Amino acid sequence: MTETKWRLLKTAIDLFAQKGYKHVSVREIAEVMQCWQGSIYNHIASKEDFLTEAFDFYMTNYTAALPPLEEILAMLDTVKPEEIWDKVYPLEFDDSELSEIMDTLGGQSITM
């Protein structure tokens, strides 16, 4: 992901978290980024793609960081089921981009 695309995506996620998905326009993303609205389309096709890309990025990196299913199932022998979530999540990620997305979305819902 290019630096510009990452900044656009991060800005969109921040705005979605603050105002709700319905209440954010590509024009507003451009204003916050201090760029022309048309130049955004060189990096991403539509407002919907911002959300899709954020979730794709999150899911790809999140699932890659999860322990193998066998390891999670093995925890059932030594850990109470309600404690497994705490053992698996939140995970520490080396990827700073994923950490930023998780921090932005953490504890907040994106209304559509």
- Domain assignment present for residue 112? The answer is no
- Chain centroid to Cα 80, Å, comes to 29
Q: Where are the alpha helices (DSSP H) in 42-95?
A: 47-65, 69-75, 81-88
**What's the whole-model pTM score?**
0.57
- Domain assignment present for residue 96? The answer is yes
- 97-106 pLDDT, tens digit per residue, is 555 555 555 5
CB contact set of 102 (below 8 Å; sequence gap of 6+): 58, 90, 93
31 lies in which domain range?
3-105
Please check whether residue 84 is in contact with residue 75, taking contact to mean a CB–CB distance below 8 angstroms.
Answer: yes
Q: The tokens of 64 are what?
A: 């890659």
Mean pLDDT of the chain: 78
Please check whether residue 27 is in contact with residue 37, taking contact to mean a CB–CB distance below 8 angstroms.
Answer: yes
Please check whether residue 50 is in contact with residue 29, taking contact to mean a CB–CB distance below 8 angstroms.
Answer: yes
**Band (94; pLDDT cuts 50, 70, 90):** very low
Number of domains forming the structure of the chain: 1
- Domain assignment present for residue 111? The answer is no
Q: The tokens of 7 are what?
A: 């900044």
Q: The tokens of 108 are what?
A: 């907040």
Helix axes 96-105, 47-65, angle to 10 degrees: 110
- Domain assignment present for residue 110? The answer is no
CATH of the domain at 86: 1.10.357.10
pLDDT greater than 80 at residue 107: no
